[in-house]
Chains A and B, each alone.
Chain A
Amino acid sequence: MTNTVALANAAVRGVRGSGHRAAQLWRQSLRFRTLVIALALTSVAVLVTCVAMALAVQNNLWDSRKDQALKDAQRATNSAQLLLDSADTQGNRTAQIGLMREVSGQVQLVSASRVFGVIPIDPQAPPGLTAGGFSQEVVSDPLKQRVEKDATKQWWQPVALQDADGSTHAGLLVGRQLNVPGAGAYALYIAYDLADTEQTLVLVQSSLWIAGIVLVALIGVIAWFSLRTVVHPITEAAESSARFAGGDFDVRLPVRGQDELAVLGRSFNAMADSIEAQIKELGELSLVQQRFVSDVSHELRTPLTTIRLAAEMLNDRRDEFDPTTARTAELLQTQVHRFDTLLADLLEISRYDAGSVQLETEAISLAHLAEDLVDDMRPLAATHDTELRFVAPGGHTPVDLDPRRVRRILRNLIGNAIEHGEGRPIVITVDSSQNAVAVGVRDRGMGMTAEDAERVFDRFWRADPSRTRTIGGTGLGLSIALGDARLHRGSLAVWSRPGEGTNFVLTLPRGARPLDGTSPVPLEPVEAIAEIGVNTAPIVQPGDQAHVASPTEEEEKS
C-alpha cells in the first residue's frame, strides 16, 4: 500500500516538476514560447480543416452511394414489375415459382445487390422469395407500413446488416410494392451493403489524421529552424551585453547584412565603443589625479621635513633661549606638527576621492589588534583622567583586514571618546558573528543630538565649533575612518543621545559575503555590558611565549 502511495507521490511530484520546468522554459525561452504558440494555432487550423474535409467527404460519399442505390433499386423494381406484368402463369404453381426465380435473377442483375426479398403483404398470399440471407427482421415497422400503404413510391432506410461472421456494418434498405398478377401485392425489399463505403470513409479519415499530424510536425520543425536564425543573433546580443556588463569591454557584435539585426549590431557596437572610451577617459583622469596627489605630496613634504626638523631642534633647545623665544619655539613646534597631520589627512582624503586607495590585508585577530591599541592609548586616557575598559566576547579568529587602517580608525574613535567622554569610563567592545566582526567604542560623555550625529562624518564638521580640541584633530578623522571602513566593505555607524554619551560601531565583513545591516555589536548600547567594570584577562594568542592556556580556559574564552 505504502509503495503505491509513494509511487503516486513520486509521479505527482514528477509531473509537477516537469510542469514547473515547462513553465520556466516558457518564461525564459523566446523560441519555446513562439514555437508552442505556432504549433497550437497550426494544430487548431489543421484540425478544423481536416474535420471539415472529413465531414464533406463523408456526406458526399454517403449521398452518392445512396443515390446510386436508390436508382438501381428503382430500375430493378421496374424491370421486375415489367417481367411480372408480361408473364402469364395462370395460377400454375410451378410456373409461378419459375417466374419468381426469373424475377429474382432480374432483380439481382439490375439492382447489383444480392440481398433482397419479396414479401407478400397479405399473409395469406403465397410466399415470396429471399436471397442472399435476407431476413424480414431487418425491415423496420415504419418502413413496412409505408411500403404497404403507398404503392407508388420507393421507401428506404439505413439499417445495420449482419455479416456471416456476426460483424455488423452499415447498409441501406429500399422497399417498393410489387404487383404479382394473380397473387396480389408484394413488397420488394432490396438491401445494399455499404461496408465498402464505410471502409473508404475510414481510409479517408485516417489519411486525414496522418496528414494533419505530419503537417503540424512539419510546421513545428520549420518554425523551430526559422526561429533559430532569428533568435540566435538575439542570444548572441544578449550574451555579448552580459559580458560587456561584466567588464569585458572588447566585446562587439558581428554585423552581417542590412536587416534589423544588423542595425541592432551596429548600435550595440557604437554604444560599446562609447562606453569603453568613457571608461578609459575616467581611468586616465583618475591616474592624472593620482599622479597629482603623489607629486603634491612629494613637493610639499620635502620643505616640510626641513621645517619640522628645524622646529624640533629649536624646541629641544628652548631652555637655552629667553622666555619669549622659548615660547615661540614651542608654538612653532606644535603648529608644524598640526600642519603635518592636516596635510597627511588631506592627501588621504583626496586619495579616496580619486578612488586610488588599496587595501593591504593580513589575517589578523581584531580582538588582539584592538586590545594592543587600547593598551597603547591608556597613557593618553590617563592624562584626561579617563579609564579605558576592554571587553572581547568574540573577534578572536583572524579576519582579513588592513591593520594600519583599522588601527587608525580605532585610534580616532578612542581619541574622540576620550575628548568627549567627560572623564567617565570608555568601554571598547569586540564581538563577532558568523558573517562579521565588529568593535564598538562607547563613551558616557556629553553625547550629541540626532541631527548632529548624522553630520558627524562630514569633513571638517564639528558638533560644537566653539570647543577647542585638546587632543590634536584635523576634522577629517571620522571622514577618513568612514572611508577606511567602506574600503573593507564594512560599515561605521554612530548612536548618540545628549547627556548619555555616544557609541561608534565599526563592522567588518568576514569573508566574501557582504554585510546585511546587522552587527555583532549592537549600535544602541546594551547597558549591561557598559556597566561591567571588569577588565578581561589579556587575550592569549597561540604562539605567545609566556602562556600556554589549559583546555578549560580556552573553552571559556571562545
Chain B
Amino acid sequence: MTSRILVVDDDTALAEMIGIVLRTEGFEPVFCADGAKAVDEWRTQRPDLVLLDLMLPGMDGIEICTRIRAESGVPVIMLTARGDTADVVRGLEVGADDYMVKPFNPKELVARIRTRLRPTPQSTSEVLRIGDLTIDVDAHEVRRSSTPIALTPLEFQLLVALASKPQQVFSREMLLEQVWGYHYKADTRLVNVHVQRLRAKVELDPDNPRIVTTVRGVGYRAGSVV
C-alpha cells in the first residue's frame, strides 16, 4: 500500500518538486500551502507522514505540530531553512520526530521518510520492564502500574531500545542509528530533545531521571527495574 505523505509548505514550486521526488519513490503526496488550513487538511487526508515547513502563513509550523501531536503520534518531519538551535529544538520539543535543513539532499529526505514509516520489528511478544514501567511491545503500550502512558511511535521506539538491553549504555550515535536509522554522524540534538520529551512523559521527577538515566560523557541507559 502506498504511503500518503502530507507536504505542508507555502512555496508551491518547492512543494511540487518534493511531490515529484516522492512520486518517483512510490509515495502518494498531498499538499497544503496555507498554515491555517493545515490541521484540517491533516484530519481529512489522514496521511502516514507529515512534511512540515516551519515558516508558514496563517499558522506557523510549531503551532501546527503541537495541534497534530495533541491528537496523534503520526510521524512529523520538519523542514526548515533555519538550522539555528532555538528553532530546531523548539520544533523537536513540540513533537517533530526529525528535521531537515533546506536545501537538503532528496535522497536523504527519502531515506528518513522510509525510516519513519518502517514498521517496528516485532522482536518478541514479551513484556519489557524499565524502572517501574511495563512495556507491552506488541500492543505498543506503556504502563505504570496499569495506568497507560501515551507516547509517540518514536518515543516508544526509544524507550524499547533502552529497555531491551538494560545493561547497555547507548551512545547518542547508537541511538541515532537504531531509532532514527542514521548510519553516519548526524545531529545529536535529535537524541537530546527526544530524551527530554520522553522523560517529561514517563519520569515521576524529570529532574531526577530514574527511567532514562544519563551516563555523563557516554550516553543513556535504562534505569534499574524496581
Interface residues of chain A, those whose CB is within 8 Å of chain B, are 294, 297-310, 312-313, 340, 358, 360, 362-365, 372-373, 376, 397-398, 403-404, 407, 541-543, 545
Contact = CB atoms under 8 A, between A and B. Distances in A.
Nearest to B217: A398
Nearest to A359: B85
B217 A309 contact: no
A303 B18 CA distance: 12
B171 interface: yes
Interface stretch (B37-45, B99-107, B129-137): B99-107
B20 A313 contact: yes
B103 A308 contact: yes
A298 B216 contact: no
Contacts of B149: none
B215 A313 contact: no
20 contacts: A294-B82, A298-B82, A299-B81, A300-B81, A301-B102, A302-B11, A302-B14, A303-B11, A305-B104, A306-B17, A308-B104, A308-B105, A309-B20, A309-B106, A363-B217, A397-B217, A407-B185, A543-B169, A543-B170, A543-B218
Interface string B170-193: 110100000000001101110000
A170 B44 CA distance: 129
Given A313-B106, A376-B185, A398-B217, A302 B81 contact: yes
Contacts of A305: 14, 17, 102-104
Contacts of B126: none
Given A308-B106, A363-B217, 16 more contacts: A294-B82, A297-B81, A298-B81, A301-B81, A302-B102, A303-B11, A303-B14, A305-B14, A305-B103, A309-B14, A309-B18, A312-B105, A312-B107, A372-B185, A398-B216, A398-B217
Given A302-B14, A302-B81, A542-B218, A362 B188 contact: yes
A425 B17 CA distance: 44
Contacts of A365: 217
Contacts of B105: 308, 312
B169 A297 contact: no
A301 B103 contact: yes
Interface of B: 11, 13-14, 17-18, 20-21, 24, 55, 81-82, 84-85, 102-107, 168-171, 173, 184-185, 187-189, 215-219
B17 A310 contact: yes
Contacts of B85: 358, 360
6 closest A-B pairs by CB: A398-B217, A543-B169, A301-B81, A298-B81, A305-B103, A305-B102
Contacts of B217: 363-365, 397-398
Nearest to A398: B217
B218 to A, nearest CB: 5
B81 A340 contact: no
A520 to B, nearest CB: 19
Contacts of B185: 372-373, 376, 407
Contacts of A403: 188
Given A294-B84, A301-B102, A360-B189, A306 B11 contact: yes
B102 A541 contact: no
B216 to A, nearest CB: 6
Contacts of B104: 305, 308
Nearest to B14: A306
A7 B171 CA distance: 63
B13 A306 contact: yes
A245 B173 CA distance: 44
A298 B81 CA distance: 5
A312 B84 CA distance: 26
A340 B103 CA distance: 7
